[in-house]
């Protein structure tokens, strides 16, 4: 009798341990059918719709680049100029714009044979920004 009760208790514990899977269909490519959608799909708001498409208050910054460059192969010299036109599409006023130039970032001979570095003249005022 004690053996039968022990086997019955062990079987109940074994079944309980097996039934603790939190996902109803672990082999499926979708989540738990009782899972809240907020963990899978973001809640729509004024910036993004439920599908993830841009909403009415979504905006992106824009910059147009006009680059003119001349390569003098004999003198091993590259001369150029660039005009960047920046469009602030946000509702906020930008007090400054950060511009970072990384020269020869992927070159194995960084800064080798440099005669002079690059220069950036100050051409825009804060009123123009």
> Reduced to 3 states, what is the DSSP secondary structure of residue 32?
coil
Tens-place pLDDT, residues 31-41: 666 766 666 67
- Alpha carbons within 13 A on the beta-carbon side of 8: 5
Predicted confidence (pLDDT) at residue 17 exceeds the cutoff of 60: no
Tens-place pLDDT, residues 50-67: 888 888 899 999 999 999
Domain parsing of the chain, residue ranges: 56-103+120-129
Task: List the one residue out of 92, 99, 88 whose CA is nearest residue 121.
Answer: 99
Residues 6+ apart with CB under 8 A from 89: 59, 60, 61, 62
């Amino acid at each position: 009798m004690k053996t039968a009760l022990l086997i019955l208790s062990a079987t109940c514990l074994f079944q309980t341990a097996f039934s603790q899977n939190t996902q109803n269909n672990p082999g499926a490519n979708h989540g738990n059918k009782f899972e809240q959608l907020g963990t899978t799909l973001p809640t729509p708001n004024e910036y993004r719709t439920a599908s993830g498409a841009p909403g009415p208050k979504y905006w992106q910054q824009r910059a147009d680049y006009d680059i003119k460059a001349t390569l003098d192969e004999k003198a091993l010299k590259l001369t150029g100029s660039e005009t960047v036109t920046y469009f602030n599409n946000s509702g906020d006023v930008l007090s400054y714009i950060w511009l970072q130039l990384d020269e020869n970032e992927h070159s194995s001979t960084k800064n080798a044979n440099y005669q002079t570095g690059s220069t950036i003249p100050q051409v825009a005022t804060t009123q123009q920004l």
